[in-house]
Amino acid sequence: MKNTVLTFKNSKKENKKLTMLTAYDYSTAKLMDEVGINAILVGDSLGMVMLGYEDTLSVTIEDIIHHTKAVARGAKNTLIISDMPFMSYQTSVYDAVCNAGRLIKEGNSHAVKLEGGEEVCPQIKAIVDASIPVMAHIGLTPQSVNEFGGFKVQGKDVETAQKLIDAAKAIEQAGAFSITLEGIPAELAEIITNSISIPTIGIGAGNGCDGQVLVYQDMLGMYSNFTPKFIKRYAELGSYMKDAFKEYINEVQSGAFPGPEHTYAISEEVINKIKGDQQCN
Ligand code: KIV
């Protein structure tokens, strides 16, 4: 069944948990699509897990378009949401609408995600008015890493917790279809979830949210630079991959690969003729 923003809306009403993972390429998106994930986020986390930057700030709109196109070719039934990178929407409402439009028109995405609370509500409203669904993102918003002084849990005191609750309500009013809650205490995430009618998708925000999202390299053990507490490793693909790479190196070096079963045949007659011709030359 095709997942759309209506799936998000109905899931909250029916108390069904939503599932979202990040993906940045055709093959991974296709695998996720085949097992029925509700949404794929082409996150600006790609700056860290795909491109090797220390944070997400260097990611460009072209990077997100490029990876969204690949994901859209692989995922046919999944709602595809593309992150709006740093400085693609903060600068003005006009920039926000133009860049959101590029993610839909050029990237073939279905929706966009942007970080921030009440300060980005004018952008959310304008993008939604242009018929582009918006997912908001509050809490530990990685694009604010310099303002926070690191990747730090947010909303731990009364003032910042209340600010997040107010932000969620304002975002709903602005027309967003969902909110990602990242890096906030579980009980606060539950209060936010219960105080709005649009679904919350948690990452490091406990299981009181309406759904969950993880970065796929984190959940598969493929990215070890930084492992926050909230990540559950569902597989250790990184070490399987390293074992396979090592075996390949050994087999190539020893001559064991490629074997006869990986090799194309040619008739003896042809090969003898070529060898004969070589000798004449
Ligand atoms: O960029 C990303 O992958 C994200 C998720 C961590 C929510 O924003």
pLDDT at 280: 79
Contact predicate 222/202, CB 8 Å: no
pLDDT at 121: 98
Same domain, 162 and 266: no
Instruction: List phi, psi (to 5°) of 117.
Output: -105, -125
**Mean pLDDT estimate for the chain:** 97
Same domain, 209 and 263: no
Percent of the chain at pLDDT exceeding 90: 96
Residue 58 confidence (pLDDT) above 90: yes
Give the H or E element holding residue 212: strand 211-214
Residue-range definition of the domain harbouring residue 269: 240-280
| pLDDT tens, position by position, 193-241 | 999 999 999 999 999 999 999 999 999 999 988 788 899 999 999 999 9
pLDDT at 47: 98
What is the number of other CB atoms lying within 10 angstroms of the CB of residue 237?
16
Q: Ligand 1 within 6 A of 43 CB? A: yes
Q: Ligand 1 within 6 A of 218 CB? A: no
Same domain, 272 and 258: yes
Atom of ligand 1 lying closest to residue 43 CA:
1
What is the number of other CB atoms lying within 10 angstroms of the CB of residue 164?
21
Tell me how far apart the alpha carbons of residues 99 and 63 are, in angstroms, rounded to a whole number. Answer: 12
Confidence of residue 258 (pLDDT cuts 50, 70, 90): very high
Same domain, 107 and 200: yes
CATH of the domain at 114: 3.20.20.60
CA distances from 240 to 22, 204, 223, 254 (A): 21, 26, 13, 21
Residue 129 confidence (pLDDT) above 90: yes
DSSP code, position 123: H
Using the mean position of ligand 1's atoms as its centre, give its distance from the Cα of residue 39 in Å: 12
Average pLDDT over residues 28-46: 98
pLDDT at 152: 93
Token pair, residue 145, equals 């890493």
Residue 277 confidence (pLDDT) above 90: no
Same domain, 222 and 157: yes
pLDDT at 264: 97
Characterize the bridge pairing of strands 134-139 and 111-115: parallel
The answer to whether 182 is a known catalytic residue is yes
pLDDT at 149: 95
CA 151: distance to chain centroid?
Answer: 18
Contact predicate 206/188, CB 8 Å: no
Cα–Cα nearest to 109, from 136, 63, 78? 78
Which residue's C-alpha comes closest to atom 3 of ligand 1?
Answer: 43
Same domain, 112 and 209: yes
Using the mean position of ligand 1's atoms as its centre, give its distance from the Cα of residue 98 in Å: 21
Residue 118 confidence (pLDDT) above 80: yes
pLDDT at 278: 83
Catalytic residue among 115, 172, 182, 190: 182
Token pair, residue 155, equals 């909303």
pLDDT at 168: 98
Tell me how far apart the alpha carbons of residues 20 and 37 are, in angstroms, rounded to a whole number. Answer: 6
What is the number of other CB atoms lying within 10 angstroms of the CB of residue 81?
30
Count of the separate structural domains present in the chain: 2
Same domain, 48 and 107: yes
Percent of the chain at pLDDT exceeding 70: 100
Q: Give the largest Cα separation in the chain, rounded.
A: 90
| pLDDT tens, position by position, 130-168 | 999 999 999 999 999 999 999 999 999 999 999 999 999
Same domain, 26 and 114: yes
Same domain, 140 and 251: no
| pLDDT tens, position by position, 60-79 | 999 999 999 999 999 999 99
Q: Tell me the pTM.
A: 0.96
